[in-house]
Amino acid sequence: MGMTDPIGDMLTRIRNAINAKQSEIIMPSSIMKLGVADVLKREGYIKDYNFEASKPKNFIHIYLKDVPVIQEIKRVSKPGCRMYSSAEKLPRVRDGLGIAILSTSRGILSSREAKNLKIGGEVLAYIW
C-alpha cells in the first residue's frame, strides 16, 4: 500500500533528524521531493542533497547544516484539504523571516521566487 502524504513524510523526517542532531537523511525519492529539497538548498536551509538511482527504488540523501537553521516546519496543504494562494495573496511566514514552499505551474518554488514571477499555486509548507 502506498503512502498517502509523501511530502508530509519528508518534512517529518527532516524535523526528526534535526531534533536527533543527525547530519544526513536518506528517504525514498520522487520528483516532488527533489523539488522541495532544491528549494531548501537554494534558500539556505540545508547544506546539500544528492539523488541516488538504484533498483528497485531511487533515494534522496539530504545533508543538514551543522548548526540547525530550521526552527519549525509546518505542512499546510494536505491530501484531504488542499490550500491554494494567488500571486497577490502569497503568505508571509514570520513577517518575512521564513518561507512558504509552493507547487506552481513552473515547478516547486519558494514564496519569494513565486512573488518575483507573479504566480500562485498550492502552498505545501511553511519553514522558518
Q: In Å, how far are 115, 121, 128 from 89, measured between CA atoms?
A: 9, 10, 19
On whether the pTM is more than 0.85, the answer is: yes
pLDDT at 20: 96
| Confidence (pLDDT) at 110 | 97
Domain ranges across the chain: 6-127
pLDDT category at 2 given cuts 50, 70, 90 is: low
Half-sphere exposure of 124 (CA within 13 A, CB side): 23
Each residue's pLDDT tens digit, 64-107? 999 989 999 999 999 999 999 999 999 999 999 999 999 999 99
DSSP secondary structure string, 66-101? Answer: SS-----EEE-SBTTB--EE-STTPPPSGGGTSEEE
Check whether 1 has a pLDDT greater than 60: no
User: Does residue 63 contact residue 91 with C-beta atoms inside 8 Å?
Assistant: no
Domain 6-127, CATH among 3.40.50.970, 1.10.8.640, 3.30.1490.10, 3.30.930.10: 3.30.1490.10
- What is the grid cell recorded at 23? 547530519
Tell me the pLDDT tens digit for each residue of 13-64: 999 999 999 999 999 999 999 999 999 999 999 999 999 998 889 999 999 9
pLDDT computed for residue 55 by the predictor: 85
Q: Which pLDDT score is estimated for 3?
A: 78
